[in-house]
Amino acid sequence: MKGRKMPASTVTHPNVTPLIDIVMCLIIFYMLVARIGVATGADKKIDLPVSFQGVDIKDLGNTVTLNVSAAGENPLVTTLNPSTGATEEVKVVDGARKPLKALLQVLKGQNQNFKVIIRADQDLDYRYLEKVLATCSEAQVRDINFATRLPQAGLGIEPRVQP
């Protein structure tokens, strides 16, 4: 009996299945770890101090970030303007007015549980920070969080002490 021959295959394009597998893994990774659309107004140029005892804040929606730097004898405070999406300056004292206090009071009125995140340069003098803390105190804001950065591994910095 004469056996039938298989016809020659005409497929010439490459097999893209492994590519799709890898790309899908990458997409899932990025979707899990990336924070998209979460604008906090954080000034990334600020050199934060290192700390070992910090905690993570899961819910950044209830927070307002204040970037504090020095400008003459007064602190320069910038924060996110939700209406424009830009980071803008908020004066602590402007003549007889206190714009930062007013802003914090408005936010406190909208959400009693809101938190303030203070981002300041590690070499900033306390006299600048003091005015911002005093304003938070005047606005009855009790939950204040100081942004710090984790120590980098392998730099000979002491390990974190577990409480």
* Sheet architecture: strand order including 115-120: 86-90, 74-81, 63-71, 115-120
Looking at the Cβ atoms of 11 and 96, the one nearer to other proteins is 11
The tally of CA atoms less than 13 A away on the side-chain side of residue 141 is 29
Looking at the Cβ atoms of 10 and 83, the one nearer to other proteins is 10
**Nearest to 148, CA basis, from 128, 108, 113, 121:** 121
Three-state DSSP class for residue 109: helix
Residue 121 C-beta: closest distance to other proteins, Å: 7
Three-state DSSP class for residue 45: coil
C-alpha 63: how far from its chain's center? 10
Residue 82 C-beta: closest distance to other proteins, Å: 18
Looking at the Cβ atoms of 111 and 137, the one nearer to other proteins is 137
| Sites of contact with other proteins (CB under 8 A) | 7-11, 16-17, 19-20, 23-24, 26-27, 30-31, 33-36, 38, 48-57, 117, 120-127, 129-130, 133-134, 136-137, 140-150, 152, 158, 161, 163
Looking at the Cβ atoms of 92 and 147, the one nearer to other proteins is 147
